[in-house]
Amino acid sequence: MLKLNIDSKDTNSKARAGWFQTDHGKVETPIFMPVGTQGTVKAVNQNYLADEIKAQIVLSNTYHLYLRPGTEILEAAGGLHKFMNWQKPILTDSGGYQVFSLSELRKLKSDGVEFRSHLDGSKHFFTPEKVIGIQRSIGSDIMMVLDECAPYPCDYDYAKNSVQLTSNWAILNKEAFKNSNPLYSHKQFQFGIIQGSVYKDLREKSANDLLTLDFDSYAIGGLAVGEPMEQMYDLVDFTTDFMPDDRPRYLMGVGRPENILESIARGVDMFDCVMPTRNARNANVFTWNGTLSMRNAKYKDDFKTLDAKCNCYTCRNYTRAYLRHLFIAEEILALELASIHNLYFYLDLVTHARKHIIDGDFFEWKNKTINEISIKN
């Protein structure tokens, strides 16, 4: 198992501060994982990611890396760590969500999923065993099982069948993991993914099915796909009660800064989302005093830093007026500077959350912070 060493628990919520160890380094929780889908976090190089943003672990994607550059290249390079020159931990999603997103191009079967590549239309078939094999080639520190992410909305019967399929695949995922070995010199861990759409009894069944298989740890999947936010929080709160206390809990694909803080309060330790980099590329930046739209004309002669409370590379060196100019001029540097800032903000947010959990005032700090960061300027 992947042990979560707990440093402190909040007395007014389910938040906890802890850490876990991989062969590529220690990860302190709660933690946000920048998304590097294709072996790169968009618009940010690895030096900035490690030294400026202080990312402790990044996420990459099995589906995308399988299609391009392919497992043969990854193995020849010695795995993804060497290929992308990243010495810290990597988590890989199984590709299940990406295949789910290709609803027009995929066909579910009892032993896997058939899909057509979004690149060239070529036909492929993912089985749980194949997905584990691809992640052995990638060499991620944490690999996810192949699962089905049910769409929202979906009726109860669809969700029930989806959970059963995910549970059946989980058995095959576990067997494939046990019957194969890492290709490189470091240990790999495997997480199960709890599904169930918005139905609590199905969430409970999914959790119990996976717990019997004793994965190294567990994730909550299939949320933030369109359901109301309060319902998502309720389901997270419900589901974490079934997840082991001594292992890191991962909420997949979430989310906005306030979503992360509310989910930390409900017992989640790990997060990933494309939002900080996607929003950055669209000129939207997060600050401790709310969001800024950097194309707004009011910033054309605003020579203040993006965020007076931020110590990122962008805020130490450039003004709002300059960043707006770069976006208006469609300069590539705009994407880099905004992405560095947003990722730094997300990592700084979870670092502050950790500190306040340890200090014993997380719940009060969380409520105050959400009010401040939710302002749209």
Question: Catalytic residue among 10, 272, 307, 348, which?
Answer: 272
Buried b (16+ CB within 10 A) or exposed e, 287-303: bbeebbbbeeeebeebe
Q: Is 111 in the active site?
A: no
How far is it, in rounded angstroms, from Cα 216 to Cα 299? 48
Query: 146: which DSSP letter?
Result: P
Long-range contacts, 296-301 (Cβ 8 Å, 24+):
296/324, 299/323, 299/324, 300/324, 300/325
**What is residue 254's three-state secondary structure?**
coil
The CA-to-CA distance between both ends of the chain, in Å, stands at: 45
> Hey, what are 136's tokens?
């052995």
Q: What count of other Cβ atoms lies within 10 Å of the Cβ of residue 351?
A: 16
The contacts of residue 282 (CB under 8 Å, 6+ apart) are none
Catalytic residue flag (residue 307): no
Give the catalytic positions in this structure.
93, 272
